[in-house]
């Protein structure tokens, strides 16, 4: 049976995902995977909701109204967050920008989709662990867990690393010196961050590498290996952190929140830096954010902290005794 020729939409999409993102933009494997997922779901939507055969889709079949319906469909059927919705939209807009640059004649077709706005979410507080919780977690790891797990958490917290950055650290990414130690993180879009680390963390890393906890199982020199003698996965790190939470809460009931994940450690570090007066731009560079707007979420006021500060200030106010003599009606 004769196979249908790929449509122009299919040709551009293949070129975008397989060639442009990888060879020209040099983005990470995870970014390519995320973009591909956005389009897989779009094709699912077009087939399930509009009866369009994925092999037959052309540019004229998709306009801004279709994309909006697709985004709303994902929110309803997949219960995705606003953040995920906006990530999917960003992937689609990036594709249409690519198409308009490759073929200027397509600019009119692409412009309405490129012009779509991201959905605004509520200014909710990002969950994080306070310093007391961090301290308790460290003490628990020192007492009940291995040096490797203590180091893993210490690196995660001190560097504010993403979990993908953590599990990709190689021993060759470390520059251990008595005075100025550095760790190199490979972030989104293959961007590299060189972060100074404390003497305590440098010492812990040195002890770990010299001790029985460390074995370079596959000869690739990763800093952390699982019990299966392979580099950790995201799932494994998430599972480990939740096992810590359970262990801590068995000793100190309800000290740690019910839902805890690796990114919460990153949020915690960013929040603590802000509390210590570190400039927002410096935090942006530290975290490897592409935009200051992303970092701005950490500047959302913590109502609990504000209430605590108000109560502390109120405790220092000495009310003049003459007010005690006033009648209620005079106040």
**If DSSP codes are grouped into helix, strand and coil, which group holds residue 186?**
strand
Q: pLDDT at position 300, please?
A: 62
Q: Does pLDDT of 98 surpass 90? A: yes
pLDDT digits (tens, 9 = 90+) for 64-83: 999 999 999 998 888 888 88
Q: pLDDT at position 79, please?
A: 84
Is 162 designated active site? yes
> Within a 10 A sphere around the Cβ of 139, how many other Cβ atoms?
13
Sequence-distant (6+) residues with CB within 8 A of 274 are 280, 283, 298, 299
Read off the pLDDT of each residue in 172-188 and give the average, rounded to a whole number. Answer: 90
Distance CA 331, CA 322 (A): 12
Distance CA 30, CA 27 (A): 8
Distance CA 317, CA 88 (A): 52
**Could you write out the DSSP letters of every residue in 57-114?**
--GGG--HHHHHHHHHHHHHHH---HHHHHHHHHHHHHHHHHHHHH-GGGHHHHHHHH
Percent of the chain scoring above 70 in pLDDT: 87
Per-residue confidence at 309, pLDDT binned at 50, 70, 90? Answer: low
Q: Exactly one of 35, 222, 232, 298 is catalytic; name it.
A: 298
pLDDT digits (tens, 9 = 90+) for 30-48: 888 889 999 999 999 998 8
pLDDT digits (tens, 9 = 90+) for 264-273: 999 999 999 9
Is 188 designated active site? yes
Read off the pLDDT of each residue in 49-53 and give the average, rounded to a whole number. Answer: 86
CA separation, residue 246 to residues 103, 240, 242, 252 (Å) = 55, 10, 6, 10
Q: Exactly one of 85, 88, 245, 266 is catalytic; name it.
A: 266
Q: Exactly one of 93, 97, 145, 263 is catalytic; name it.
A: 263
> What totals of helices (H) and strands (E) does the chain contain, helices first?
14, 3
Is 289 designated active site? yes
Q: Does pLDDT of 315 surpass 90? A: no
Is 266 designated active site? yes
Q: pLDDT at position 289, please?
A: 85
Distance CA 220, CA 205 (A): 18
pLDDT digits (tens, 9 = 90+) for 113-158: 999 998 886 555 678 899 999 999 999 999 999 999 999 999 999 9
pLDDT digits (tens, 9 = 90+) for 229-279: 999 999 999 999 999 999 999 998 989 998 898 989 999 999 999 888 888
Q: Exactly one of 85, 88, 162, 267 is catalytic; name it.
A: 162
Summary mean pLDDT of the chain: 86
Per-residue confidence at 27, pLDDT binned at 50, 70, 90? Answer: confident
Q: Partners of 197 in the beta sheet?
A: 181
Q: Exactly one of 188, 193, 234, 261 is catalytic; name it.
A: 188
Cα end-to-end distance, the chain, whole Å: 92
> Is the separation of the CB atoms in 204 and 150 below 8 Å?
yes
**If DSSP codes are grouped into helix, strand and coil, which group holds residue 175?**
strand
**How far from the centroid of its chain's Cα atoms is residue 184's Cα?**
18
**How far from the centroid of its chain's Cα atoms is residue 278's Cα?**
20
Q: Does pLDDT of 60 surpass 60? A: yes
Domains defined for the chain, CATH in brackets = 8-114 (1.10.150), 131-258 (1.10.443.10)
Q: pLDDT at position 320, please?
A: 46
Q: Does pLDDT of 295 surpass 90? A: no
Q: pLDDT at position 302, please?
A: 57
- pTM here is 0.60
**How far from the centroid of its chain's Cα atoms is residue 39's Cα?**
21
Per-residue confidence at 20, pLDDT binned at 50, 70, 90? Answer: very high
Q: pLDDT at position 323, please?
A: 39
Pairing outcome for strands 181-186 and 192-197: antiparallel
Q: Does pLDDT of 322 surpass 60? A: no
Q: Does pLDDT of 331 surpass 50? A: no
């Amino acid at each position: 049976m004769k196979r249908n020729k790929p449509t122009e939409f299919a040709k551009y999409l293949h070129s975008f995902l397989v060639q442009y993102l990888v060879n020209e933009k040099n983005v990470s494997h995870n970014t390519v995977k995320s973009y591909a997922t956005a389009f897989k779901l779009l094709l699912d939507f077009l087939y399930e909701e509009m009866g369009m055969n994925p092999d037959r889709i052309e540019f004229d079949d998709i306009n801004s109204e279709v994309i909006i319906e697709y985004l709303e469909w994902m929110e309803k059927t997949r219960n995705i967050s606003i953040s995920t919705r906006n990530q999917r939209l960003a992937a689609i807009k990036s594709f249409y920008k690519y198409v308009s640059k490759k073929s200027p004649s397509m600019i009119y077709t692409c412009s309405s989709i490129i012009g779509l706005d991201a959905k605004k979410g509520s200014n909710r507080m990002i969950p994080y662990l306070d310093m007391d919780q961090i301290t308790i977690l460290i003490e628990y790891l020192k007492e009940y867990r291995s040096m490797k797990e203590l180091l893993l958490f210490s690196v995660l917290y001190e560097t504010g690393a993403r979990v993908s950055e953590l599990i990709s650290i190689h021993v060759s990414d470390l520059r251990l010196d008595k005075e100025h130690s550095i760790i190199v993180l490979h972030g989104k879009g293959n961007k590299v961050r060189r972060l100074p680390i404390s003497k305590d963390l440098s010492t812990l890393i040195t002890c770990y590498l010299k001790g029985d906890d460390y074995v370079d199982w596959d000869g690739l020199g990763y800093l952390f290996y699982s019990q299966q003698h392979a580099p950790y996965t995201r799932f494994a790190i998430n599972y480990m952190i939740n096992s810590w939470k359970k262990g801590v809460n068995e000793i100190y009931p309800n000290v740690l929140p019910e839902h805890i994940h690796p990114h919460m450690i990153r949020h915690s570090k960013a929040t603590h830096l802000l509390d210590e007066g570190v400039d927002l731009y410096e935090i942006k560079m530290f975290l490897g954010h592409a935009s200051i707007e992303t970092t701005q979420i950490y500047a959302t006021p913590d109502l609990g902290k504000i209430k605590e500060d108000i109560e502390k200030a109120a405790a220092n106010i000495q009310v003049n005794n003459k007010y005690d003599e006033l009648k209620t009606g005079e106040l």
